[in-house]
Amino acid sequence: MLLRRSLLCAALMGASSLLCHAQEGLRDTTLLIIRHAEKPVVGDRLTPAGEARAQRYAAYFAPFVDPSGQNLTIDTIFAATDSKNSLRPRLTVEPLSTAIRKPIDTHFVEKKNDDFVTELQKESHGKVILISWRHGGIPELLTKLGADSTRLIGGEHWPDDVFNWVIELHYSHDGKLASQQLIHEPF
């Protein structure tokens, strides 16, 4: 009986430790989530307007000034993995990556948001993380990150014609979502 109780306590302590550890990566972290820049009707790249937006991001996010006036310096850049139909998430942040000399992590597939969220929760990637994603996967990503996707984007789907939104999610010291807001880029 004593052995069973000891094993149960050890299992509970281990589970508690895993739950605590699961949020360590988001402790005191701000996530900035954008949709890739403008896309052509046909092709895997950006339109000229999309290329111009990508160039503007190099200044807009270096540093990013949030609506409260706080300067946020990007520590890590993630972009959805290139697919046969779209290189746009990566292309959108390449000029910024070059400007701030930070590599782009592209090893997460947009259709596997669980893997990406688990990685963010488990491991620290800095205090300010920029994520360039495909619009079809952003609502699910937001929900898995604890945000109210429907309230943030005004529905269940990111609108097809919207390229100028930034979602800012801030996590508290305990790794829980503390605030969320939609920011309209000025361009």
Distance CA 170, CA 28 (A): 7
**Each residue of 50-64: b (16+ CB within 10 Å) or e?**
bbebbebbbebbeeb
First to last CA, the chain: 67
17-31, 43-57, 126-140, 161-175: which has the minimum mean pLDDT? 17-31
Question: Residue 89 — pLDDT band, cuts 50, 70, 90?
Answer: very high
The pLDDT score that the predictor gives to residue 17 is 39
CA nearest neighbour of 130 among 178, 181, 96, 81: 96
Q: Taking all residues of the chain, what is their mean pLDDT, rounded to a whole number? A: 90
User: Of all residues in the chain, what percent carry a pLDDT higher than 90?
Assistant: 85
User: Of all residues in the chain, what percent carry a pLDDT higher than 70?
Assistant: 88
CA 55, 183, 83, 25 torsion: positive or negative? Answer: positive
| Contact criterion met (CB below 8 Å) for 110 and 134 | yes
Q: Please check the confidence at residue 7 and state whether its pLDDT lies above 50.
A: no
The pLDDT score that the predictor gives to residue 110 is 84
Q: Which residues pair with 97 in a beta bridge?
A: none
Strand ranges for 11-164 from DSSP E: 30-35, 64-65, 71-72, 76-79, 104-105, 128-133
The pLDDT score that the predictor gives to residue 10 is 41
- The 10s digit of each residue's pLDDT in 128-168 is 999 999 999 999 999 999 999 999 999 999 999 999 999 99
Q: Please check the confidence at residue 9 and state whether its pLDDT lies above 50.
A: no
- The 10s digit of each residue's pLDDT in 32-42 is 999 999 999 99
Distance CA 64, CA 93 (A): 14
Structure tokens at 30: 């701000």
The pLDDT score that the predictor gives to residue 121 is 96
Q: Which domains does the chain carry?
A: 24-184 (3.40.50.1240)
